[in-house]
Amino acid sequence: MTLIYIIAAFLAGIFFQKIMSSLAVIFGLKNRLLHAIENEIIEFTLNVYSRLIMSLETGYITMRAAGVSEETIKRIKNEDDHDLLQWKKEVMQKFVDSYPNVYKEMLQVETWEEAMQQLSAYKEFPEEAVNHESNNRNN
């Protein structure tokens, strides 16, 4: 008999957790955490991009110092610019693809430009951006 009570309490706990989790999503209690994590991932990606740019610029300076022609450096820069555009597209596609399916409808960024705009709003006005984001998602 005690085993039946334990099993019933366990199942009731699972049921309660599922209901509370659903209510949290419905009433936006998880939106703030999700939004903050989303922006932190975007910021991390921007930091990686910035370091990549710094490495490339260091390479160009080194090439100039080594006497590489400006025409060659310009060609390499154009190739690097193309590679960086591809990298940004791939990163954002992987970000969107890896976003949890349960929350995918809340995702508002799909391109690098959209992500940078959202990050800019989040970093300049964190509280206002979260509130604005919640209002947009609820409408």
Within 13 Å of residue 28, how many CA atoms lie on the same side as its CB? 13
| Alpha-carbon distances, residue 99 vs 24, 68, 125, 135 (angstroms) | 18, 44, 24, 21
Write out the E strands in the chain. Answer: none
Residue with tokens 């009731």: 12
Specify the higher pLDDT residue, 4 or 102.
4
Q: Which residue ranges make up each domain of the chain?
A: 28-138
pLDDT at 15 over 90: no
pLDDT at 25: 62
pLDDT at 76 over 60: yes
pLDDT in tens, 87-134: 999 999 999 998 888 777 778 889 999 999 988 888 875 554 444 444
Residue 17: its pLDDT value, please? 82
The answer to whether 112 touches 92, Cβ cutoff 8 Å, is: yes
- pLDDT by residue (tens digit) across 17-68? 888 777 666 666 556 777 788 889 999 999 999 999 999 999 999 999 999 9
Q: Are 113 and 123 in contact (CB under 8 A)?
A: no
pLDDT of residue 1: 67
Give the model's pLDDT for residue 130: 43
Distance CA 83, CA 93 (A): 15
Confidence class for position 80, pLDDT limits 50, 70, 90 = very high
Helix (H) or strand (E) holding 3: helix 2-26
Residue owning tokens 């006497």: 67
Taken as a whole, the chain contains a residue count of 139
pLDDT on residue 108: 82
pLDDT of residue 137: 42
